Structure 1
Amino acid sequence: MVVRAKGDRIGFARVREEFALPTDFPEDVLAEADRAAGAWRDTGRDDATDLPLVTIDPPGSRDLDQAMAVERVGAGFRVHYAIADLGAFVTPGGALDREVRRRGQTIYLPDGNVPLHPGVLSEGAASLLPGQVTPAALWTLDCDSDGLLEHADVRRAFVRSQARLDYDTVQRSFADRTAHPAIQELPAIGRLRRERALERGAVELQLPDQDVEANGDGWRLVLRPRTEVDAWNAEISLLTGMAAAKLMLDAGVGILRTLPDPENGAVKWLRRSARSLGITWPRAMDAAKLLAGLDPDRPEALALFMDATRLLRGAGYTVFDGAAPRLTTHAGIAAPYAHVTAPLRRLVDRFGAEICLAVAADRPVPEWVRSALPELPTLMAGSDTLAARVDKACLDQTEAWVLAGRIGQEFDAIVLRSEGGSSDVFVTHPPVIAKCADGNLPEGETVRVRLTQADADARKVVFERVDGSEEER
């Protein structure tokens, strides 16, 4: 269902105002970005424009951070992974540098994003757009026949992407055997890397994405299931982040994305949830393998995935320079990991890339990078919180718009979580996650609910359970 919003509700201006999101960049920042786009710094790069790289992103995306090419080398694989190199454009200590530190990351809203960098860079000169020669941090990742990383290197290079692809098109191309030559081996290495992840105990929650799409003058909610291509593409990014973390740890300087192991109580809670949902969990099986083996289309699986988010709480950034940090791993990935693959959209990645480039070239890490490390966890934590709050506000707003005028109507809903005095329920048509004023609903079961509130001003949707079946009533 599409709702045509009225007046100032046509967009998300109120969300932008509420969270004081910037509407533009200061003039000195724009001027610096324009100069950099027209004459970026060439710091002695290799020419890798002959590599057949392609990007895989959502349709219409122009802030393209990564381009890849995968090839067989003997019994193993070689992954070429080009990452946009902001070091060619951002002058340390300049107006642009100060502004992106203030922003932290790109904030995405349904009616347009609030970019980390000016569009002349993020959607222009620094983006890995097809046919454009672009400076990049080019990773070469050699894996054996089991998908295990044997060697990693990164260097500055010029690259030129051959094609801008999207997830659905790539998924179809594998089905009809028309995949671009650069990614024909992606399924093979992607599956192997996923197998290795499960062996490590990495946790992947197969929850679909709840997205907001424009439709005419209004908005609609869509549910985007996670595809194989999503998973394979993510594994290449994770492989690179793990290689980056190793470089940093070996050098004794860096910034890791870390997550403590879940407390025993969280695992016990999940086991109780699995029991109540009728899901068999062998005592010898870890949570990662259990979750990976569930059918995401089953309501009880969705409910357990929601409960499993408890295992992934508490992620942050760990900085070290000299002494090894106490915490080096990310429990969800089950390995040391660093953010380096999205510098157009996330501040910390630029600094991580500079560390890896210096270490790989056997050069000292630049002092401006080292001096910035202590402040990065705070900057990123603030921007992560802001991005999450904005995303939730936009979803809540759209849910209220979509359900406006339907008070009293009944829906089938899957109970995702019940605790306290209410439950989280998932209505599939339209795809809405909201509260139900009953805290005793059976998790994982489908119940009948009635809409009692859809308040666009408060961004609040509430259901109540309908007692009995249609025949009983």
Structure 2
Amino acid sequence: MAAAQVPGDEAGVAAADRSSRPREFGSDFAAIRAELGLPVDFPTAALSEVERSVAQPVLDGERVDATDLPLVTVDPAGAKDLDQAVLVCARPGGGYRVHYAIADVAAFVVPGGALDAEVRRRGQTLYLPDGNVPLHPTLLSEGAASLLPDQVRPAVLWTIDLDSDGVPVGVDLRRALVRSVAQLDYDGVQRTIDLGVAHPSIELLPQVGRLRREQAVLRGAIELGLPEQQVESDGNGGWRLVLRPRLVVEEWNAEISLLTGMCAAEMMISAGIGVLRTVPDPEPETVAGLRRSAARLGVDWPEEQHPAAALAGLDPVRPEALAVHVQATRLLRGAGYTAFGDGAPAKAGHAGIGASYAHVTAPLRRLVDRYSAEVCLAVASDRPVPGWVLEALGNLPSVMGGSDRVAGQVERACIAQAQAWALAGRVGEEFPATVLRAANGVGGEVFVAAPPVIARCVGDGFGEGQQVRVRLAQADPVRRDVAFEVI
């Protein structure tokens, strides 16, 4: 499932066996699915349409043969909906070249058809611990359109040239046929990189990833980089909470996707048409408030230092730094989508990235990416944007905003449910905790490491970043409610 980013301690992983609950506390998340009215099946007409399109996809004559590129996919272990395949190599004379193939979903979805209508209703894939609610039928998303290894697939192929500092100096975009040579997973790639035996197609990924991370700080990208709170099966019909620190290879891999999204945004802005993912810059008073909180916690933050650099220099595992990272989420409020078709929009930035940005790299899992790709392909080939894209462009912010809200509700409900299951029957027990937020000294929010839980806490006399002992006051699986009290 999509995991919540939270501060953490590896002790939560070590204590995972204690955080799982037996079957009587619930074997799946059906109540959440019903409560939120999540889709169950695809309409028959949409499934029939998929069968036809899979048998005869739209592969026009302008598609180049790029099956000689040794692209690889890098995803969580077991993933089947593979949106991206990558190849990183050196450029003659210096610098780097990134080939990034993105699944070409438009080759299978008929504009205005039954499937198109259904995916517009869904907006994006929803992730739950007991199974996903996919944007597209799995025949498409895990089969014909997925960039599975040793299969020729239609793709939108980005070729981005970088200089020796990792700055883009050239972009090429076209439709292609590609063939991935290997399906890799994050843990395996991290091990091979650590051993110095990475797959040849990504042996330069660490170099490019580090350079792009440096560029992110220079841009003023506000990145939190907190570990992830996840719900996973305990293998016995129950569920457990774990903390999964983000691997460095995941950060490097994400930088390739962000690089592509920034290049896409520049193309759209230059053409005066497209749809951007936007987050407004934080207000000066918000930054000042965070700076004051950091000072109270004893965190050194030089007056002239941008929040991006200050956060990048903190280790979120330290209690005081952990609290600053959590409070820094207020810097990234107001996320949305901005569609435009008559010149560049007035507000085009994404504060979390420090640049303009567009979603183009996950079309199997997110609706807007298919439309953004079509805009960029049209701009790159100096052709008009297709009419079906123009017709939908104005509604995409509303559709994606609505699906984002549902995705957030699903994630919060699943985490809350798992927290309540994990602690049910333990009311009255004491735990060490870190205070994440304090509300005028009379309550707030704490993080308990084992099991890894974030919940409200009542009491007085405690402050953010402080280490305290708390007593579990409530753990209600029916209401999905957990509460502590300071001892």
TM-score (norm 2): 0.94
Amino acid aligned to 2:107: A
Query: Secondary structure at 1:342's aligned position in 2?
Result: coil
Q: How does 1:290-301 map to 2 (within 5 A)?
A: 290-301=310-321
Map 1:178-257 onto structure 2 (within 5 A).
178-215=197-234, 216-257=236-277
Cα distance, 1:35–1:439 mapped onto 2, change above 3 Å: farther
Q: Report the AA paired with residue 206 of structure 2.
A: P
Q: Counterpart of 2:390?
A: 370
CA RMSD after TM alignment: 1.1
Q: Is the 1:197–1:333 contact (alpha carbons within 8 Å) kept by the matching residues of 2?
A: yes
Name the SS of the counterpart of 1:115 in structure 2: coil
Q: Does 1:428 align with 2:445?
A: no
Out of 59, 64, 69, the position equivalent to 1:46 is 64
The answer to whether structure 1 residue 60 and structure 2 residue 81 are counterparts is no
The one of 284, 290, 298 aligned to 1:270: 290
Specify whether residues 157 and 280 from structure 1 end up closer, same or farther in structure 2 by C-alpha distance, changes over 3 A only.
same
**Secondary structure of 2:74's aligned partner:** strand
| Residue of structure 1 equivalent to 2:124 | 105
Q: How many residue pairs end up in the alignment?
A: 466
SS for the counterpart of 1:67 is strand
Contact kept, 8 Å, 2:209 with 2:256, in 1: the verdict is: yes
Q: TM-score, normalised by structure 1?
A: 0.97
1:176 aligns with 2:195: yes
The aligned residue for residue 149 of structure 2 is: 130
Q: Does 1:280 align with 2:293?
A: no
Identity of aligned residues (%): 61
- The answer to whether residue 174 in structure 2 is matched with residue 152 in structure 1 is no
**Cα deviation per residue 1:126-184 (whole Å; 9 max; x = unaligned)?**
11111111111000000000000001111101111111111111111111011100100
Q: Which digits, 9 at most, give the CA deviation of each residue in 1:76-131, with x for residues without a partner?
A: 00000001111100010000000000000000000000000000011111111111
How far residue 7 of structure 1 moved from its aligned partner, in angstroms, is 5.2
The one-character-per-residue Cα deviations of 1:222-280 (angstroms, maximum 9, x if unpaired) are 10112211111111111000000011111111001111111112101110110111101
Does structure 2 retain, via aligned residues, the 8 Å contact 1:418–1:440? no
Corresponding position of 1:449? 470
The residue type equivalent to 2:458 in the other structure is A
How much has 1:3 moved relative to structure 2? 3.2
Moved over 6 A (4+): none
The one of 13, 31, 38 aligned to 1:14? 31
Q: CA deviation at 1:4?
A: 3.8
Q: CA deviation at 1:459?
A: 0.2
Gapped regions of structure 1 (runs ≥ 5): 467-473
Determine if contact 1:419/1:440 at 8 Å carries over to the other structure. no
Give the AA of the match of 1:144. Answer: D
Answer yes or no: is the 8 Å Cα contact 2:271–2:343 preserved in 1: no
Aligned to 1:78: 97
The 1:181–1:447 alpha-carbon spacing in structure 2 relative to 1, beyond 3 Å, is same
Matching residue's letter, 1:142:
D
In structure 2, how many angstroms separate the alpha carbons of the residues matched to 1:406 and 1:339? 43
Distance in 2, Cα, partners of 1:192 & 1:87: 33
User: Are positions 1:384 and 2:401 aligned together?
Assistant: no
Which amino acid is 1:16 matched to?
R
5+ unaligned residues in a row in structure 2: which ranges?
1-17
Question: Which whole-Å CA distance do the structure 2 matches of 1:440 and 1:144 have between them?
Answer: 54
Higher relative contact order (CA 8 A, sep 6+): 2
SS at match of 1:162: strand
CA distance in 2, matches of 1:103, 1:289: 38
**2:288 aligns to what SS in structure 1?**
helix
1-structure distance, mates of 2:263, 2:459: 47
The amino acid that maps onto 1:230 is E
Indicate the SS of the match to 2:331: helix
Q: Given the alignment, which residue of 290, 295, 312 partners 2:332? A: 312
Q: Deviations over 1:265-314 (max 9, x none)?
A: 21011101101111010011110001001112211111111100000000
The question of whether the paired residues in 2 share the 8 Å contact of 1:424 and 1:433 is answered with yes
